[in-house]
Chains A and B, each alone.
Chain A
Amino acid sequence: MSSTATSAVKPNKIRGNKKIFTIVVLIVAIVYFLLPVWWLIVASTKSNSGLFFGEHGSLWFANKFALWENIKQLCTYQNGIYWRWLLNSFIYALIGGLLSTAISILAGYGFAKFHFRGKKAFFNLVLGALMIPSTALVIPLFLIMSKIGMVNTMWAVLLPALLNPMGVYLMRIYCQESLPDEMIEAARVDGAGELRTFFQVSLPIMTPAITTVYLLSTVGAWNNFFLPQIVLTNSKLYPITVGLTQWQAQSQAGAASEQVWNLVTSGSLISVIPMVLAFLFLQKYWVGGLTAGSVKS
């Protein structure tokens, strides 16, 4: 971080009372946010009956530690379809995220650095798209896709995820603020073509924004639920969200039900691990990015 900033502006001293208040608020916030996570960790180690009759309540481990058994059951239940769902989620999230980030970069860069007819109108169109909740488009999408025979294929989930108005918007703003026109002009003057300018001058500077957009769209795709729920029927194509929901519904139904609560909890725990890892590994690019553009030298 910039040491000049801290030495130039002396931070205000926080007085005793206020400090305690701050700490209390923070502790409340931590409990509020981490309690569900803690519950999930505890619940994933319980068997079905442990979930209902755990000796030490729902926030502490039951006497019988069943996490390994649950994971083993995840490997065999319905022929281990859980891992297939996890793989599908990876495909939807990684490939979908990658492609949608690429499109956002190109579109955002174009909006920020080029002048063309209808630029403002098109950008307003993007802004307008930002206002429409994607859930509202699911049924129309379903109808269109079933006309062209794309329902019940991976494309039905991947294609709509490629356009990410939020990503385009963020990219444009970032390019406008952090990528000086002078630099691009300098590159052009030095004889670089448009492509070379883009790849060797602009793209490296955009890395923080790219990471941000990539994370956002990957997380979005990983958590995507409603669209795959509607357009997919073949359970081999389900992402993890839809699959776990199906197991939960199956456990809850009174008639003809199979109780797999233990698989729902341990499956949920495993399914959040990749996202936690993604944030941990990508956060250094991310944090650097948010501050990089904010200080004008």
Chain B
Amino acid sequence: MKALTKALSLLAASAMIVSVAACGGGSDSASSDSGAAAKVNTDKKANDGAQCTNTVKKTGVQKVTVWGWYPAIEKVVDQFNETHDDLQVCWNNGGQGGGEYTKFQNAIKAGSGAPDVIQLEYEAMPQFMTGTQQHLVDLSQFGFNDHKDDYTEGSWDMVKLGTEDKAYAVPVDLGPFVMYVREDIFTKYNVDVPTTYDEFADAAKKLKDAGYDGYISDFPLNQTAMLIAFFEQAGAKVNTYSASDPTKVKVNYDSPEAKKVLDYWQKLIDAGYVDTTDANTTDWTTNILSGKYATWIQASWQTGYLASSSDDANADSGFRIHKAPVWDDSTPDVNQGGSAWAVTDQAKDTEAAYKVARELFGSEEAQKIGVTDGGLFPAWTDMLNSDFFKTEKVAFLGNQEPNTITIPVAEGYKGSDFLPFQTYAYDEQAKMLKSIFTDGTSVDDALAKIDSTLKNYATQQGYTAE
């Protein structure tokens, strides 16, 4: 039996060598072979035994499986099931954002286990639509383009994924980029609320000089989509990607526009006017709710987060929503975050899945649940135009009607591109911010570095990088 032992150790040793050797080669995630479009299935019975977290209302009806994590999603699913006789939704929570994407990737590797319909953030969609890995179904083949006007221009642009006339998901929500302002603080120190970045810098100084011991705002070093939004305001398009040419990416951090943004914040941070605490951490939550920040430039969905962390979600917090500061008259409306329902190539009955994706939030009633219970900012134009939404009062914002500010931003937004390795790019972004604001690297060097790092990474992954 010594022979067996020897054989086993030999096997283990060679496995080690092979795995080390494998480090040398690149992965083939984007090899030149342009993948065929995700296939369409028509099995109506395959989901009969599916396990659901919700209680399916009607038995003996075809089921469609859904993964999603929207707040109040269970109510939306119930609403769908009550109002539909031909299809029933079987919902599970696959995890929040990244957790769900990992699960989806595993299911793709295994060839089974993915749901029919999946909630994906806009920024996460390209990673499932790379060269050989096309796992989202083009919904235009089912006539989805006829419903284009139901959604805002920006959200439609993002689900097109850079193609001419395809659509890979049904937009659900957006995050119009606005400025939360503690008006009481500005009043107390007799400073005007800024509307441009020049005024913002002045106000920062005035507040400090007047004795305000907080910061005018926070520029978190762990920001991800927020930095992209800042860049877009200044006209910097750092990422370009299209599902119609999925082996090519364009990275452009090293631009005068991006430099302008970072130089601006660096000045304010160096002067002690702006804090750099990581966002959505406990420290940060304590800071922002205790009045340590006079403003916070962010997507409008932040209200729900702040309200549920505070003492009383229905008490006036002093915050009011204003338009985000602009550089000049040409500064575009931008967006941060949001997600959509995509149909996967593992959908058992693809067309039924499309129907569910489109109709889950496709009624006034479902939209109202999303807005009222879930705090979503809808991408659905009927909702944006409704009096219900326009005049919605928010107690946490002192009964302000914030949507008079947010709706024009959402409507003006034109869309963004994200990379098929956006998570990696975000990590590099965080490293870049850290190198500038804690290690003292110059903005020029840091931007040049992230530019070349991302291009190298893209090349390693088999993309043509520009």
A residues near B (Cβ < 8 Å) are: 48-49, 51-53, 78, 117-121, 124-125, 128, 139, 142-143, 146-147, 151-152, 229-230, 233-237, 246, 249-250, 252-259, 261
Q: Closest residue of chain B to A151, judged by CB?
A: B113
B residues near A (Cβ < 8 Å) are: 1-2, 4-5, 8, 12, 51-53, 67, 69-71, 74, 92-97, 99, 102-103, 106-107, 109-113, 121, 173, 175, 279-280, 282, 285-286, 289-290, 299, 301-302, 304-305, 308-312, 337-339, 374-376
| Chain B residues closer than 8 Å to A253, beta-carbon distance | 96-97, 280
The answer on a CB contact under 8 Å between A249 and B95 is yes
The answer on a CB contact under 8 Å between B95 and A234 is no
A229 to B103, CA, bound (A): 9
A255 to B224, CA, bound (A): 12
The answer on a CB contact under 8 Å between A53 and B337 is no
The answer on a CB contact under 8 Å between B110 and A147 is yes
On whether A52 and B282 interact (CB within 8 A), knowing A128-B12, A146-B110, A256-B374, the answer reads yes
A252 to B338, CA, bound (A): 16
Which one, A128, A143, A255, contacts B299 given CB within 8 A?
A: A255
A51 to B285, CA, bound (A): 10
Which one, B4, B92, B175, contacts A255 given CB within 8 A?
A: B175
New A-B contacts (12) at CB < 8 Å, excluding given A128-B12, A254-B302? A120-B5, A121-B4, A142-B106, A146-B113, A151-B112, A234-B52, A237-B51, A249-B96, A253-B280, A254-B301, A255-B338, A259-B305
The answer on a CB contact under 8 Å between A117 and B71 is no
Which one, A51, A120, A257, contacts B304 given CB within 8 A?
A: A257
| Chain B residues closer than 8 Å to A234, beta-carbon distance | 51-53, 92
* Interface of chain A: mostly helix, strand, loop or mixed: helix
The answer on a CB contact under 8 Å between B8 and A124 is yes
The answer on a CB contact under 8 Å between B96 and A250 is yes
A–B pairs, 12, beta carbons within 8 Å = A52-B309, A118-B1, A121-B2, A143-B109, A233-B92, A233-B94, A246-B96, A249-B96, A252-B280, A255-B337, A257-B71, A259-B308
The answer on a CB contact under 8 Å between A256 and B103 is no
A272 to B8, CA, bound (A): 40
| Chain A residues closer than 8 Å to B304, beta-carbon distance | 256-258
The answer on a CB contact under 8 Å between A246 and B95 is yes
Which one, A120, A146, A249, A256, contacts B71 given CB within 8 A?
A: A256
Which one, B52, B53, B69, B110, contacts A256 given CB within 8 A?
A: B69
The answer on a CB contact under 8 Å between A146 and B308 is no
- Nearest Cβ distance between residue B77 and chain A, in whole angstroms? 13
| Chain A residues closer than 8 Å to B2, beta-carbon distance | 120-121
The answer on a CB contact under 8 Å between B5 and A124 is yes
Which one, A118, A143, A236, A261, contacts B110 given CB within 8 A?
A: A143
The answer on a CB contact under 8 Å between B280 and A230 is no
| Chain B residues closer than 8 Å to A53, beta-carbon distance | 286, 289-290, 311
A119 to B301, CA, bound (A): 63
Q: Count A-B contacts at CB 8 Å.
A: 120
| Chain A residues closer than 8 Å to B93, beta-carbon distance | 235, 246
The answer on a CB contact under 8 Å between A256 and B286 is no
Most A CB within 10 A of own CB, among B103, B338, B374: B103
- Nearest Cβ distance between residue A79 and chain B, in whole angstroms? 9
The answer on a CB contact under 8 Å between B305 and A254 is yes
- Nearest Cβ distance between residue A221 and chain B, in whole angstroms? 22
Most B CB within 10 A of own CB, among A48, A52, A142: A52
| Chain A residues closer than 8 Å to B51, beta-carbon distance | 152, 234, 236-237
| Chain A residues closer than 8 Å to B111, beta-carbon distance | 146
| Chain A residues closer than 8 Å to B305, beta-carbon distance | 254, 257, 259
A237 to B296, CA, bound (A): 40
The answer on a CB contact under 8 Å between A125 and B337 is no
| Chain A residues closer than 8 Å to B4, beta-carbon distance | 118, 121
The answer on a CB contact under 8 Å between B67 and A233 is yes
- Nearest Cβ distance between residue A293 and chain B, in whole angstroms? 28
A195 to B290, CA, bound (A): 70
The answer on a CB contact under 8 Å between B173 and A256 is yes
| Chain A residues closer than 8 Å to B121, beta-carbon distance | 255
A118 to B2, CA, bound (A): 9
Q: Closest residue of chain B to A144, judged by CB?
A: B110
- Nearest Cβ distance between residue A234 and chain B, in whole angstroms? 5
Q: Closest residue of chain A to B49, judged by CB?
A: A149
- Nearest Cβ distance between residue A200 and chain B, in whole angstroms? 32
A139 to B113, CA, bound (A): 14
- Nearest Cβ distance between residue A237 and chain B, in whole angstroms? 8
The answer on a CB contact under 8 Å between A125 and B286 is no
| Chain A residues closer than 8 Å to B301, beta-carbon distance | 254-256
| Chain B residues closer than 8 Å to A48, beta-carbon distance | 308-309
| Chain B residues closer than 8 Å to A258, beta-carbon distance | 71, 304, 308
The answer on a CB contact under 8 Å between A146 and B112 is yes
| Chain A residues closer than 8 Å to B92, beta-carbon distance | 233-235
The answer on a CB contact under 8 Å between B309 and A49 is yes
A237 to B289, CA, bound (A): 37
A235 to B95, CA, bound (A): 9
A261 to B285, CA, bound (A): 12
| Chain B residues closer than 8 Å to A128, beta-carbon distance | 8, 12
